[in-house]
Amino acid sequence: MSTAAKHNRSSDDEGAGGASASAGPKKHHLTPLELQKKQLDKLLEKIDKPVYIPERPGQKNTSSREPKNYVKNVQGSSAGAGSGEFHVYRAGRRREYARLKNMELGSKEEREQREYEARIEAKRAADEEKTEKNRSKRQRRKQRASNNKLSKRKEDDNRSDDDEENGRDDDEEEEGRSSNRAQEKDEQ
């Protein structure tokens, strides 16, 4: 059978709904994207079930490996110590240095935390002071604006009272102003 015939026969089987079409999707190695999609789909099927999300590893926890504060082998000042005593001495010295280093790290972290909190508090106080200053400026501006409105209303009320007493209307007053302007232009 030729390759063209084989190709035609396999395409006919797929089109006719043969065994290869009913077997479902082909199994193959999943790409990372497909694997992640599959996992997310599985999680979304049971949306009410809580999901465990692991914590991100942070700093090394030095407190879990703190050196012991007691010493088992107390070395004396006797001369002629054996060859194994040097290793005991070195291990004790290493433990002591580790203990001192942990104490220094702890005090350094505590000092940095206090300095950080002091800086934050200073910035917060400066911001609050600036905010209060701006707030008082706004209040003064509002007060002046309201005082100006009140004084203008009083002036307008006084003018309208004066105009009514003189028997002039606003229209007549406007005509009088325009005629005064015209006279001033003629004089120039």
Q: What would the pLDDT profile of 74-125 be if each residue is shown by its tens digit?
A: 665 565 667 777 887 888 889 889 989 999 999 999 999 999 999 999 999 9
109 part of a folded domain: yes
Owning domain of residue 91: 87-165
Distances, alpha carbon 181 to alpha carbons 163, 167, 168, 175, 188, in Å: 20, 22, 19, 10, 11
- Estimate the share of the chain in helix, then strand, then coil, as percent rounded to the nearest 5: 70, 0, 30
The pLDDT of residue 155 is: 83
Residues 151-184: tens digit of each pLDDT: 888 888 877 766 666 655 555 556 666 666 666 7
127 part of a folded domain: yes
Helix then strand count (H, E) for the chain reads: 5, 0
181 part of a folded domain: no
**Model pTM greater than 0.75?**
no
147 part of a folded domain: yes
The pLDDT of residue 169 is: 54
148 part of a folded domain: yes
Buried-state track 84-106, b at ≥16 Cβ within 10 A, e below 16:
eeeeeeeebeeeeeeeeeeeeee
Number of domains in the chain: 1
The pLDDT of residue 112 is: 96
68 part of a folded domain: no
The pLDDT of residue 64 is: 61
Cβ–Cβ under 8 Å, residues 107 and 64: no
Q: What does the block give as tokens for 182?
A: 């015209």
Q: Residues with Cβ < 8 Å from 167, sequence gap 6 or more?
A: none
Cβ–Cβ under 8 Å, residues 105 and 66: no
91 part of a folded domain: yes
The pLDDT of residue 18 is: 47
105 part of a folded domain: yes
